[in-house]
Amino acid sequence: MSTLSTIQIKEANAHLAALHRRVAELDGTIREQAESLIRKDEHYQAVLKDIVNTKDRELAELHKRLIHSEEETQRLTATIKDKDRELERVRHHSRLLAQICQRRPLLEALVSLMAEAEGMQCLPALEVERSNGLVNAVDYLQSEEDLEDSDTDRTLFGTTV
């Protein structure tokens, strides 16, 4: 075997010492980077937690607003249905009033005749048919004009009243 000279041993020792220093430097760099990564990870975890909490609060607020909007929509829908029913009722009344207005002259004439009849002292005797309970006004005299109008009056009032 060959013997190593002192110079070679010193150079090898210097080389080993340099290598140990370099390993120590690299270990320090690794520790610094690991600590930096840990701090960054903690920072990002905190930021992520804040984002998640903010998102959860916003979702809860949006959920509350959605529920409120749905309740308001249901309330407005019910109000619309009520208004539609009221509108239909008013339309029906309007149609009735229009029909009454169309027949106003007939109604005024009828009221006038009723007022005249109330003012009379005696009415002619009326016979009541016992078989069907109807009043038979045979004794009551009608003019020819009344007889002509009676068919018309029956047609008008028979269909609407």
Structural domain contains residue 148: no
Structural domain contains residue 22: yes
| 72-92 confidence digits (pLDDT tens) | 999 999 999 999 999 999 999
**Which domain range does residue 53 map to?**
1-84
Residue in this structure with the two tokens 């990002």, named with its chain if needed: 44
Structural domain contains residue 153: no
Span between the terminal Cα atoms of the chain, in Å: 140
Structural domain contains residue 63: yes
Domain count, the chain: 1
Structural domain contains residue 78: yes
Structural domain contains residue 23: yes
**Bridge partner residues of 135 (DSSP):** 128
Structural domain contains residue 17: yes
E-state strands within the chain: 127-128, 135-136
pTM comes to: 0.44
| 90-133 confidence digits (pLDDT tens) | 999 999 999 999 999 998 999 999 998 988 876 555 444 444 45
Structural domain contains residue 12: yes
